[in-house]
Chain A
Amino acid sequence: MDSNSKRLHPKLRMLANGSESVNAQRATISQCVASQLEPGSVAKTVQGGIAIATQRAFAAGTVNGLSLRLEEPPAKRQKLDKAGVATKAFVNVFVETQQSDLGAENPTKAVEAALRKIAARVTDDEAGKVGHAVLSRRNFVSATLPIAALEEVASMPGVSFVHSCEAITFNLPEADTSKVNPPTARSVKVGGKRHDGDGVIIGIIDVGGFDYAHPDFRDAQGKTRFISIWDQGGDSRDPPQPFGYGSEISKARLDNAIALGNANNLPPTDIERQSQSSPGSHATHVTSIAAGNRGVCPAAEIAAVLVSIPVPEGDRDARRWTFADSSRIVHAIEYLLKLSETRGKPISINISLGTNGGPHDGSNGPCRWIDAALNHPGRAICVAAGNAGQQRGETTDDLGWVMGRIHTSGRVPSRGLDMDLDWVVVGDGFADVSENELEIWYGAQDRMTVSIQPPGSTEWYTVAPREFMENQPLKNGTYLSVYNELYHPTNGDNYISVYLSPNLEPDSFAPIAPGTWKVRLHGDEIRDGSFHAWIERDDPQEVGRHRNYAAYRFPSFFSETTNVDSHSIGSLGCAHRVVAVGNADDRSGIINITSSQGPTRDNRNKPEIAAPGTRIVAACGFDSERQWTSMTGTSMSSPYVCGVIGLMLAAKRGLYAAQCLGILRRTARPLPSHDYEWRNDAGYGVLNPAEAIREATAFDERTERKTR
């Protein structure tokens, strides 16, 4: 391995090692890779036309996969130098730069310029779909790059590390279909005076479409309170600059659609369309809680970003083009901050989406980018803690725990001893065709060797520190990559990345071998011995059928004995300056069991706060029959806090995100029978809006004391 590779995140190394055809196939199942090639179109050596056409159709979800050959051994993989590196597949990265010496020139600008040059090689046609934005903040540059250029980027002077992006998870609450009464207004009064958020912007980053014409978002003149929507997956209007992808819909256009809708008796959202408009939309519900007319900030302006979902309705082929990873959230934040700046108003942003990968200590690219962006008055971001709190089913048909078993931790007690982890990939009717990733983190003072045993096998594949195994075919058809790395450049900790990839060769496509994969940690040198591991998972989603198998992107999970029920908070929520919000069931006076737990891996207390998130009634988007619907999840809690921060910013424009956090901690009320101690699900307690505003208004009033 050449030395530059060490500056690439292992996941990027694994991708860079895949051929063009493999990455084209990967793009159809991965949220973090996009490709312009149809799967199979570069593999000229495979036998017969039917197989390729079938693979392609299967990957696009249009055939049931009956003709895919599952039982035959995988064909020999072409060597990468013959097959060709992936120039037509793209990945999002955060490039971290390092100033060589005090006083030396900051390399960020130079790296940014160099990345722009690489991005410029991307043709216009490709750029229109994947975007080619190169943005920088502090010592980070975010870019969309051809996978083939990764090595080149890693070797640039000034580049210290190339971070990968994490997939956004879409384990989102669904609208309840039963009839509900309209919500009572979430009005916040302090000393009898209603606070309404006038003068602030509420920014919402979400999925499902924004029903800007819903009565909950209309002002007294019947116009919408949305000032702008960036539809990242849309193409009906011009994209915003400098991002260069998606479609930006201005307030004038939204209002024009409302007027035309009235004139033509048509729903306005069908006239000025977004790429998603699902009935009972998540985004609409979330926005309604924070900033609807019956929400917390009824007088705030609303700015919105619609993040692409991996499978656009009715067009599964478009999946190849779609990124749904943390870079898109970072771009969304930058877009909203720019709006706040140009309008001269403070902004409170809500993100009811999450990601699982990374070190869970706030040191990954997106977290540090967000922290850097929040180092400015009048900005705050709330993130839903996640709904991965559940570790076993409450009833026999409750599969929520599958989403919950994503974390394990423990200690290798001393040198020479082993710790075994059970990592379960679902079989029996499912064929998991997506990639499964496991990241293990341990202290810099220890050395551990990792061994992997495939299900039903007696063989162990062992990788010691500073060794790696890249895309090695196993007998069961799965490809195994393991990287045992020391001293991660951003936090100094040691980490082991394990990737199970399906066979993505177009002529011998095969799912990941189902069953329990054993992961053994062996203590080579132990001073502390503690470790954490997270599964970066997919959301369950059927992508086709494969003989008797439903081909699934399916979350792998830890066995019940391996799973450790803590640290399940999403990785975005681990950023230092964001507010991570848990889900309180205020009617029962408890925390909802699905609410993800903290703390972070570096033992910071997250989530900080809980807010009502159980059976919350708010606007039901894109539904001609129902105006209101009820949903449950941290997705509903987070916008409540976002709205209250909006009120705090309206009261005190100059608040910093860190101060908002402090005020929320200080004013939170413990749940019944809890004390003021931080708890891993409720944080410091339940949000207390009036007290938080009072505190925000008064905290910087100073009284001078004199001796006499």
Chain B
Amino acid sequence: MNIRIFQSFKGDCLLIESEEGGKRILCDGGTPAAMKTFIAKQLEDIETIDLIYVSHIDQDHIGGVLTLLEAAYEWKTFNVLSNSGDPPRNPQVPRAPAIKGLWHNSFRDLIKDNHGTIENLLAASAPALQASVVPDMVKLGREYAQIAASIPEALKVSRLAKSDLLDIPLNRLASTPSASKKLLMARKNQKSETFGSLQVTIIGPSEDELEALRKGWDEWLRDPKNRKTAHNIRDQYANSLSGPISAGVNPLDLRDWNGVPEYEGVTAPNVASLVLLVEEGESSLLLTGDSHPKMILDGLEAAGRIDDGFIHLDVLKFPHHGSEHNMTREFGNTVSADHYIFCGNGEHTNPEITVLDQVLQSRVGGASVRARSPEAEERPFKFWFNTTSDTQTNKSARAHMQKVERWAEKTQNAHPLVFQVGFISSDFADLRIV
């Protein structure tokens, strides 16, 4: 298979092409700006995309997909008008390929009954939190704002896919028609989907995990303390328009709702990332979205992929832009790969140097941290970064990417025989696995 890794700012975007049958899967779409700047023009000459897989609804994953679907729709309606003999001005966006399928779990389907109230509370507390000058609160507010902002985007994606607009089959599984159109998840005895020579298996989330997530959100909503805290912040904010804000609220109180301690520090929608294992002959690629390592391991175990206590892949799309909450020793022990893809541009200091170190140690470190797979022993491996410091306009992001570049250079000097690195400085790079 060929994996095209796009420049996608802080988001993820990969295009997978099968060796046989010419099938293509687009994995997330990066940010809207990334889609406009780098990705859309590369997709213009492609006739069809067989599947768009949206790992989860965060804006840096779904935003670019929405941009692509909007372009596809604009061209579709443009053609209708042109064929009637009265063409308007050409759409100002590149022509989008035909899209044959979409995998995407919507927030509303995940949350079910309470989605409206949860969305309102999120939207109400996000600006208040962001307006505070307490860094933790600002950060939390940004997370809330991102969820609040991505929900309508996800709705738009679902809307565009419907039969009266773009008519893209949503969550349709050829192998398990009974599960089609519902939430996608790892189900017992669920077969893999076939795209040409590609076999795609859903590894996670499981039904239990989705249920836990839904409960977590409900608890967050029901807990009067949370409502009160959100209101307190807003009151303070309202009262402080002409005076200084006092940070009487501990922002960390707001996170207590998350009743799933293992996932602490990972925002809620992240834990619902769809995790896919893509295989072609002997080649394998694990797509993890922003999933938590424990959830990935549980999924691999349930799928019988780590019966020997390890899995060695050709390619691992490292979860959650290499953020610090997404790496554990157990993960490093269990999962190894020839190619690690990190999608992060330095914003929020992703990918974290500590995470890069941990992954590196899983290959070259002491026995306790080292990957168990014999295949990982002494074998060269490569770290891919989907951007460079030069591409960043934001100073802090640029500084962090420079740090990553220095780390990579140092690591290369230290482990010249096994460690390789690739920074993507143009619009994309191809990684071919056979």
B85 nearest in chain A by CB position: A256
Q: Mark A417-439, 1 if CB is under 8 A from B, else 0.
A: 00000001010111000000000
A189 at the interface (CB under 8 A from B): no
The answer on a CB contact under 8 Å between B89 and A50 is no
The answer on a CB contact under 8 Å between A428 and B164 is no
The answer on a CB contact under 8 Å between B393 and A428 is no
The 8 Å CB contact of A428, one of B32, B74, B131, B396, is B131
The 8 Å CB contact of A548, one of B133, B396, B397, is B133
Q: Given A67-B396, A236-B89, answer yes or no on A260-B238 (Cβ-Cβ < 8 Å).
A: no
- Give the distance in Å from the alpha carbon of A393 to the alpha carbon of B242 in the complex: 14
Q: Given A236-B88, A430-B131, A550-B131, answer yes or no on A66-B241 (Cβ-Cβ < 8 Å).
A: no
The 8 Å CB contact of B238, one of A177, A257, A270, A396, is A396
B86 at the interface (CB under 8 A from A): yes
A430: chain B residues within 8 A (beta carbon): 131
Kindly identify, within residues 195 to 239 of chain A, every residue whose CB is under 8 Å from any CB belonging to chain B.
235-237
Q: Given A50-B395, A54-B395, answer yes or no on A266-B81 (Cβ-Cβ < 8 Å).
A: no
B176 at the interface (CB under 8 A from A): no
Kindly identify, within residues 38 to 68 of chain B, every residue whose CB is under 8 Å from any CB belonging to chain A.
67
- Give the distance in Å from the alpha carbon of A430 to the alpha carbon of B135 in the complex: 14
Q: Given A54-B395, A428-B245, A548-B133, answer yes or no on A271-B238 (Cβ-Cβ < 8 Å).
A: no
The 8 Å CB contact of A266, one of B86, B135, B164, B395, is B164
Q: Given A397-B231, A428-B244, A548-B133, answer yes or no on A270-B77 (Cβ-Cβ < 8 Å).
A: yes
The 8 Å CB contact of A265, one of B33, B67, B164, B244, is B164
The answer on a CB contact under 8 Å between A559 and B159 is no
The 8 Å CB contact of A67, one of B84, B132, B395, is B395
The answer on a CB contact under 8 Å between A426 and B241 is yes
The answer on a CB contact under 8 Å between A429 and B132 is yes
- Give the distance in Å from the alpha carbon of A54 to the alpha carbon of B393 in the complex: 5
The answer on a CB contact under 8 Å between A399 and B242 is no
B165 at the interface (CB under 8 A from A): yes
B206 at the interface (CB under 8 A from A): no
CB of A705, distance to nearest CB on chain B (Å): 63
- Give the distance in Å from the alpha carbon of A430 to the alpha carbon of B237 in the complex: 11
A592 at the interface (CB under 8 A from B): no
A106 at the interface (CB under 8 A from B): no
The answer on a CB contact under 8 Å between A63 and B393 is yes
B111 at the interface (CB under 8 A from A): no
- Give the distance in Å from the alpha carbon of A565 to the alpha carbon of B323 in the complex: 52
CB of A395, distance to nearest CB on chain B (Å): 9
CB of B62, distance to nearest CB on chain A (Å): 14
Q: Mark A241-279, 1 if CB is under 8 A from B, else 0.
A: 000000000000100110010001111001111000000
CB of A21, distance to nearest CB on chain B (Å): 18
B214 at the interface (CB under 8 A from A): no
B367 at the interface (CB under 8 A from A): no
A424 nearest in chain B by CB position: B242
Q: Given A256-B86, A314-B32, A428-B131, answer yes or no on A67-B394 (Cβ-Cβ < 8 Å).
A: yes
The 8 Å CB contact of B393, one of A57, A237, A260, A398, is A57
Q: Mark B72-106, 1 if CB is under 8 A from A, else 0.
A: 01101100110010101100000000000000000
B370 at the interface (CB under 8 A from A): no
A268 nearest in chain B by CB position: B77
The answer on a CB contact under 8 Å between A62 and B242 is no
B372 at the interface (CB under 8 A from A): no
Consensus secondary structure, chain A interface? loop
B234 at the interface (CB under 8 A from A): yes
B234 nearest in chain A by CB position: A397
The answer on a CB contact under 8 Å between B77 and A393 is no
The answer on a CB contact under 8 Å between B84 and A260 is yes
The answer on a CB contact under 8 Å between A66 and B131 is no
The 8 Å CB contact of A424, one of B67, B76, B239, B241, is B241
A391 at the interface (CB under 8 A from B): no
B130 at the interface (CB under 8 A from A): yes
- Give the distance in Å from the alpha carbon of A652 to the alpha carbon of B402 in the complex: 76
Q: Given A62-B33, A266-B165, A270-B73, answer yes or no on A54-B88 (Cβ-Cβ < 8 Å).
A: no
Residue among B164, B394, B395 having the largest count of chain A Cβ atoms under 10 Å: B394
- Give the distance in Å from the alpha carbon of A236 to the alpha carbon of B78 in the complex: 10
The answer on a CB contact under 8 Å between A53 and B393 is yes
CB of B113, distance to nearest CB on chain A (Å): 16
Q: Mark B377-391, 1 if CB is under 8 A from A, else 0.
A: 000000000000000
B394: chain A residues within 8 A (beta carbon): 54, 57, 63-64, 66-67
Kindly identify, within residues 111 to 155 of chain B, every residue whose CB is under 8 Å from any CB belonging to chain A.
116, 124, 127, 130-133, 135, 138
The answer on a CB contact under 8 Å between B238 and A399 is yes
A302 at the interface (CB under 8 A from B): no
B292 at the interface (CB under 8 A from A): no
B223 at the interface (CB under 8 A from A): no
A516 at the interface (CB under 8 A from B): yes
Per the CB 8 Å criterion, the residue count for chain B at the interface is: 44
A402 at the interface (CB under 8 A from B): yes
Consensus secondary structure, chain B interface? helix
B242 nearest in chain A by CB position: A424
Kindly identify, within residues 259 to 314 of chain A, every residue whose CB is under 8 Å from any CB belonging to chain B.
260, 264-267, 270-273, 314
A266: chain B residues within 8 A (beta carbon): 76-77, 80, 164-165
A428: chain B residues within 8 A (beta carbon): 131, 133, 240-241, 243-245
CB of A422, distance to nearest CB on chain B (Å): 9
Q: Given A430-B131, A516-B242, A548-B133, answer yes or no on A50-B88 (Cβ-Cβ < 8 Å).
A: no
B398 at the interface (CB under 8 A from A): yes
B244: chain A residues within 8 A (beta carbon): 428
CB of B59, distance to nearest CB on chain A (Å): 13
B235 at the interface (CB under 8 A from A): yes
CB of A54, distance to nearest CB on chain B (Å): 5
The answer on a CB contact under 8 Å between B159 and A624 is yes
- Give the distance in Å from the alpha carbon of A548 to the alpha carbon of B137 in the complex: 10
Kindly identify, within residues 604 to 628 of chain A, every residue whose CB is under 8 Å from any CB belonging to chain B.
624
Q: Mark B265-287, 1 if CB is under 8 A from A, else 0.
A: 00000000000000000000000
Q: Mark B222-238, 1 if CB is under 8 A from A, else 0.
A: 00000000010011011
A260: chain B residues within 8 A (beta carbon): 80-81, 84
CB of A420, distance to nearest CB on chain B (Å): 15
B165: chain A residues within 8 A (beta carbon): 266-267, 270
- Give the distance in Å from the alpha carbon of A237 to the alpha carbon of B132 in the complex: 46
B230 nearest in chain A by CB position: A397
A264 nearest in chain B by CB position: B80
CB of B162, distance to nearest CB on chain A (Å): 8
- Give the distance in Å from the alpha carbon of A624 to the alpha carbon of B240 in the complex: 41
The answer on a CB contact under 8 Å between B238 and A397 is yes
A554 nearest in chain B by CB position: B241
- Give the distance in Å from the alpha carbon of A272 to the alpha carbon of B237 in the complex: 44
The answer on a CB contact under 8 Å between B241 and A235 is no
- Give the distance in Å from the alpha carbon of A656 to the alpha carbon of B32 in the complex: 52
B240: chain A residues within 8 A (beta carbon): 428
- Give the distance in Å from the alpha carbon of A429 to the alpha carbon of B397 in the complex: 22
The answer on a CB contact under 8 Å between B241 and A272 is no
CB of B200, distance to nearest CB on chain A (Å): 31
- Give the distance in Å from the alpha carbon of A428 to the alpha carbon of B32 in the complex: 30
Q: Given A66-B396, A429-B131, answer yes or no on A256-B84 (Cβ-Cβ < 8 Å).
A: yes
B124: chain A residues within 8 A (beta carbon): 397
- Give the distance in Å from the alpha carbon of A486 to the alpha carbon of B190 in the complex: 83
A552 nearest in chain B by CB position: B131
B396: chain A residues within 8 A (beta carbon): 66-67
CB of A213, distance to nearest CB on chain B (Å): 13
The answer on a CB contact under 8 Å between A237 and B133 is no
Interface pairs (28), CB distance under 8 Å: A50-B395, A50-B398, A54-B393, A57-B394, A62-B393, A64-B394, A66-B394, A66-B395, A66-B396, A67-B393, A235-B89, A237-B88, A266-B77, A266-B165, A267-B165, A270-B77, A270-B165, A273-B77, A273-B88, A397-B124, A397-B231, A428-B131, A428-B133, A428-B243, A428-B245, A429-B237, A429-B245, A548-B133
Apart from A270-B77, A516-B242, A624-B164: 12 A-B pairs, beta carbons within 8 A: A53-B393, A54-B393, A63-B393, A66-B395, A265-B164, A266-B165, A314-B32, A393-B238, A428-B131, A548-B138, A550-B127, A550-B130
